[in-house]
C-alpha cells in the first residue's frame, strides 16, 4: 500500500484497490490485470495534485474469503469499533484482462445494491460518474451491474461508498491454468487503465494550474488551494471562491472537453449553469497573467 497526500483534504481518502492472489493458475487476468492497472494509475498520478488523498492498495487473501480487505476494514479503517480513516470512496478492480480473440469493447461498472442500504444511493451516484468518466477518457462502452464478492465488500459493510470495474465479456479463464498472459487482451487492459486514470482524477479531484506568474499588483492565482469551485458535481449553481475576492477582478469561463466555450462571466462568485447539459467540463478562473483550471462535473 502507498498513500498520495491530498492538497485540500489530506485526511479524507479515495481507495483504489485489487487483489494479487489467485487460484490454480498464474492469475494473469484474475487479478494480475487489476493490480497492473492500479500500478499504472499510481505512476501517472504521482505528480498530479489531487484535493483528496489516494490510497493504492493490493490486497491478499481475496480468493480465500476477502481476508486482506476484511482485515484492513476491521483493523485499520476501524479500531476497536471506532472509525480511524475517513474514506470518501472505494474503487475496486477485479479481473479486467479480457480474453484475446473476444470482442472486448465494454466494461462493467459495479454499484452497491445490497448489504448496508444507507450507502446504496451514493454508490449508484459514483458508479454513474464512473461510467461517464469511462466514456470520456477511453473508447470503452459501459454496462451498470451489481457489486459482488470482491474486496470492496468489507468496506461496504462498514458503510463506505463503493464502485468497481469487471470485464464485460467474460474470459472464463479465472481459477484455471489457462489464466496466462497469452490469453489476456493487453489492449483491453490498456483501455481499462485509461478509464481508471480518468475516474481517479475525478474522484480525488485532480487540479492543474495554467500559467503562473503575474506582473500585476494583484496577487496571482498561483496556489492550487487559493481557488475553490463547489459543489462538484454541480447542478444549477457553481460557486467560485477566491481569497480577497472583493478586491480582485477576475473572469470565469466554462468550456467543454473539446475546448468550446459554454459560459463566460466576470467578477461573479456564483454561476448559473442550469443551461448546460450533464457532463464533464473545464472551469478556468483568470486574473491578469495567471489562471487556474479545474475539472467540474454537471449532474442534474
Residues 24 and 111 in one domain: yes
Encode pLDDT of 171-230 as tens digits.
999 999 999 999 999 999 999 999 999 999 999 998 754 333 333 344 555 444 578 888
Give the whole-angstrom CA distance, residue 290 versus residue 250. 10
Domain that holds residue 244: 207-298
Residues 188 and 288 in one domain: no
Whether 273 shows a pLDDT value over 50: the answer reads: yes
Q: How confident is the model at residue 244 (pLDDT cuts 50, 70, 90)?
A: low
Report, as an integer, the average pLDDT of 5-27: 95
Residues 61 and 121 in one domain: yes
Domain boundary residue, one of 203, 223, 254: 203
Q: How confident is the model at residue 131 (pLDDT cuts 50, 70, 90)?
A: very high
Q: Quick one: DSSP state of residue 50?
A: B
Residues 176 and 243 in one domain: no
**Secondary structure (DSSP) of 235-293:** SSEEEEE-TTTTT---EEEEEETTS-EEEEEES-SEEE-TTSPSEEEEEEEEETTEEEE
Q: How confident is the model at residue 33 (pLDDT cuts 50, 70, 90)?
A: very high
Task: Please give the pLDDT value at position 248.
Answer: 66
Domain boundary residue, one of 172, 203, 234: 203
Task: Please give the pLDDT value at position 294.
Answer: 82
For residues 279 and 150, the model is more confident at 150
Residues 236 and 190 in one domain: no
Instruction: Check if the beta carbon of residue 52 is closer than 8 Å to that of residue 9.
Output: yes
Encode pLDDT of 105-123 as tens digits.
999 999 998 888 999 999 9
Helix (H/G/I), strand (E/B), else coil: 164: strand
Cell digits of residue 101: 480473440
Q: How confident is the model at residue 62 (pLDDT cuts 50, 70, 90)?
A: very high
Give the whole-angstrom CA distance, residue 87 versus residue 78. 11
Whether pTM > 0.95 for this model: the answer is no
Give the whole-angstrom CA distance, residue 37 versus residue 191. 10
Instruction: Check if the beta carbon of residue 30 is closer than 8 Å to that of residue 62.
Output: no
Task: Please give the pLDDT value at position 218.
Answer: 46
For residues 241 and 177, the model is more confident at 177
CATH number for the domain that contains residue 35: 3.40.630.10
Domain count, the chain: 2
Task: Give percent of the chain with pLDDT exceeding 70.
Answer: 91
Whether 145 shows a pLDDT value over 60: the answer reads: yes
Q: What is the mean pLDDT of the chain?
A: 90
Strand intervals (E) in the chain: 2-4, 9-19, 52-59, 78-79, 82-83, 86-93, 106-111, 141-146, 162-167, 207-210, 228-230, 237-241, 251-256, 261-266, 270-272, 279-287, 290-298
Whether 124 shows a pLDDT value over 90: the answer reads: yes
Amino acid at each position: 500500500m502507498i498513500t498520495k497526500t491530498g492538497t485540500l483534504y489530506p485526511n479524507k481518502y479515495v481507495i483504489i484497490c485489487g487483489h494479487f492472489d489467485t487460484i490454480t493458475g498464474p492469475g494473469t487476468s484474475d487479478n494480475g490485470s487489476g493490480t497492473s492497472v492500479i500500478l499504472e494509475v499510481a505512476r501517472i498520478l504521482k505528480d498530479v495534485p489531487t484535493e483528496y488523498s489516494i490510497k493504492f492498495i493490493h490486497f491478499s487473501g481475496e480468493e480465500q474469503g476477502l481476508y486482506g480487505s476484511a482485515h484492513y476494514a476491521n483493523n485499520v479503517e476501524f479500531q476497536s469499533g471506532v472509525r480511524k480513516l475517513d474514506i470518501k470512496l472505494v474503487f475496486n478492480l477485479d479481473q479486467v484482462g479480457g480474453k484475446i480473440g473476444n470482442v472486448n469493447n465494454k466494461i462493467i461498472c459495479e454499484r452497491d445494491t445490497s448489504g448496508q442500504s444507507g450507502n446504496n444511493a451514493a454508490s449508484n451516484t459514483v458508479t454513474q460518474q464512473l461510467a461517464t468518466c469511462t466514456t470520456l477518457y477511453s473508447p470503452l462502452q459501459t454496462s451498470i451491474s451489481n457489486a459482488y464478492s470482491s474486496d470492496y465488500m468489507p468496506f461496504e459493510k462498514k458503510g463506505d461508498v463503493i464502485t468497481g470495474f469487471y470485464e464485460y465479456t467474460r474470459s472464463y479463464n479465472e481459477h484455471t491454468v489457462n489464466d496466462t498472459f497469452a490469453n489476456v487482451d493487453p489492449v483491453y487492459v490498456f483501455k481499462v487503465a485509461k478509464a481508471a486514470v480518468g475516474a481517479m482524477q475525478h474522484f480525488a479531484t485532480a487540479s492543474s494550474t495554467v500559467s503562473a506568474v503575474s506582473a500585476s499588483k494583484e496577487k496571482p492565482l498561483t496556489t492550487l488551494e487559493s481557488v475553490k469551485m463547489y459543489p462538484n458535481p454541480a447542478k444549477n449553481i457553481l460557486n467560485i471562491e477566491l481569497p480577497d475576492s472583493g478586491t480582485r477582478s477576475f473572469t470565469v469561463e466554462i468550456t467543454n472537453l473539446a475546448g468550446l466555450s459554454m459560459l463566460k462571466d466576470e467578477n461573479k462568485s456564483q454561476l448559473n449553469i442550469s443551461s448546460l447539459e450533464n457532463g464533464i467540463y473545464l472551469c478556468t478562473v483568470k486574473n491578469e497573467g495567471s489562471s487556474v483550471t479545474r475539472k467540474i462535473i454537471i449532474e442534474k
